[in-house]
């Protein structure tokens, strides 16, 4: 007679425990933002203008969940400006860092990019939309190497990583 063994599924708690906690915090924050938006909605939001807010969640290379917000920022709701955080993805290879941002509703001329060795700042102000975000880069880059393209509402920025200084060996004489 074949018997079914009971399996131990507790390893799922180890894997998804952090995600549950992050998700709960994000849901609480989203509820506060929507409550605040509804308080200001009659006075500050024009009929027909959307309130966009959401989040993107993925497991990072460190095995921990990373949650990124996008959409109308709470300050934009209060100030009556349709300012949003773009949806941003950052990819890293051995030689470069690629940043992709979705920013529909603006023209190439409306976008301003500023890069430092550790961050990329994106600002765009179109007729109907405004985007603003500062992205912390996963490695140091050469800001002068930046190349950017914008097509169909998608911005792509490629930055070359800074070459690490090679340390040469020096023989030390013992006295």
Query: How far is Cα 109 from Cα 88, in angstroms, rounded to an integer?
Result: 20
> Is residue 7 predicted with pLDDT exceeding 90?
no
Whether 163 shows a pLDDT value over 70: the answer reads yes
Q: How far apart are CA 49 and CA 93, in angstroms?
A: 39
- Residue 148 sits in a domain of what CATH number? 2.60.40.790
Count of CB atoms situated within 10 Å of the CB of 86: 22
Distance, CA of 86 to CA of 123 (rounded, Å): 10
Look at residue 124 and tell me whether its pLDDT is greater than 60.
yes
Both 72 and 90 in one domain: the answer is no
Domain assignment of residue 63, given as a range: 11-82
Percentage of the chain lying above the pLDDT 70 cut: 57
pLDDT of 38 reads: 66
Average pLDDT of the residues in 160-170: 65
Q: Confirm whether 49 is domain-assigned.
A: yes
35 within some domain: yes
- Do 72 and 136 lie in a common domain? no
Paired tokens of 17: 């425990």
Q: Per-residue confidence at 158, pLDDT binned at 50, 70, 90?
A: very high
In a domain, 173, yes or no: no
- Report phi then psi at 109, rounded to 5: -70, -20
Alpha helices in 45-160 (DSSP H): 74-79
Please tell me the predicted confidence (pLDDT) of residue 137. 92
Same domain for 154 and 90 = yes
Kindly state whether residues 63 and 92 are assigned to the same domain. no
Cα angle 111, 34, 101; round to 5 = 25
| 72 in the same domain as 17 | yes
**Minimum mean pLDDT range among 75-84, 120-129, 146-155, 162-171:** 75-84
Distance CA 15, CA 65 (A): 10
130-136 vs 83-85, strand pairing mode: parallel
């Amino acid at each position: 007679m074949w018997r079914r063994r009971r399996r131990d599924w507790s390893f799922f708690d180890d894997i998804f425990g952090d995600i549950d906690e992050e998700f709960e915090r994000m849901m609480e924050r989203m509820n506060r933002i929507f409550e605040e938006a509804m308080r200001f909605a009659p006075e500050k939001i024009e009929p027909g203008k959307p309130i966009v807010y959401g989040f993107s969640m993925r497991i990072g290379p460190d095995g921990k969940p990373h949650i990124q917000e996008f959409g109308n920022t709470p300050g934009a709701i209060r100030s009556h400006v349709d300012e949003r955080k773009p949806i941003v993805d950052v990819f890293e290879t051995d030689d470069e860092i690629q940043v992709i941002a979705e920013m529909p509703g603006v023209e190439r001329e409306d976008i301003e990019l500023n890069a430092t060795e550790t961050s990329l700042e994106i600002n765009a102000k179109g007729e109907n939309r405004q985007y603003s975000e500062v992205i912390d880069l996963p490695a140091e880059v050469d800001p002068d190497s930046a190349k950017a393209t914008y097509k169909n509402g998608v911005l792509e920025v490629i930055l070359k990583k800074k070459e690490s200084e090679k340390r040469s060996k020096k023989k030390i004489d013992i006295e």
